[in-house]
Amino acid sequence: GAVVSQHPSWVICKSGTSVKIECRSLDFQATTMFWYRQFPKQSLMLMATSNEGSKATYEQGVEKDKFLINHASLTLSTLTVTSAHPEDSSFYICSARAAYEQYFGPGTRLTVT
Amino acid sequence: DQQVKQNSPSLSVQEGRISILNCDYTNSMFDYFLWYKKYPAEGPTFLISISSIKDKNEDGRFTVFLNKSAKHLSLHIVPSQPGDSAVYFCAATLYNFNKFYFGSGTKLNVKP
């Protein structure tokens, strides 16, 4: 099956710094990638939809200036959490769409101290 | 507005028995439905899907049923195994697959 990787798998950063998370589709090209956030014991919250070569579409309530998304190629999308705060600590998951399915990455645990 | 709902946050089943996970949706325009399985601290993995033109899809121990008139789908796992213990999410999408709507998940515990 299709494989999606995320890097890093976990990161700890200090409040006020920026963190970049990479999402790669390893064996297929993905014109569309999604970024989700999951809080403990809660469902996946879609943050934004990333289309290759165009600006990401953000869901209501998600700050586009804080969560910068870049989809520079058909196999790579990045999420940068700018000026991170402790409340940004969460589990971030990306997925890549291939035909009728979407395949998820393993997730990135972000802890902001 | 939650367009896909899983009203049971948890389900406990004995090994070997059937597990039935339910999902309801509100948007009659949804064209495709999927089930994902998720372990803690991991990304969801695709399990099984069904198109809106079908009412049943089977893959090994997993069967998904779709009742369009009731806007309801269910996932049956038979026989249930301890390794099936995970959180199960149902998802729905429109014909263009541009956005997937997820339910809140059901945590399945299969007891040995």
pLDDT at B1 over 80: no
pLDDT value of position A100: 74
Who wins on pLDDT, B108 or A71? B108
Q: Does A17 touch chain B (CB under 8 A)?
A: no
Distance from CA of B62 to the nearest CA of A (A): 17
- The predicted model gives B84-89 an average pLDDT of 96
pLDDT tens, residue by residue, A20-32: 999 999 989 888 9
pLDDT value of position A44: 83
pLDDT value of position B30: 94
Q: How distant, in Å, are the alpha carbons of A37, B55, B105 from that of A40?
A: 10, 33, 12
Inter-chain residue contact B98 with A32, CB threshold 8 Å: yes
pLDDT at A39 over 80: no
pLDDT tens, residue by residue, B59-68: 999 999 999 9
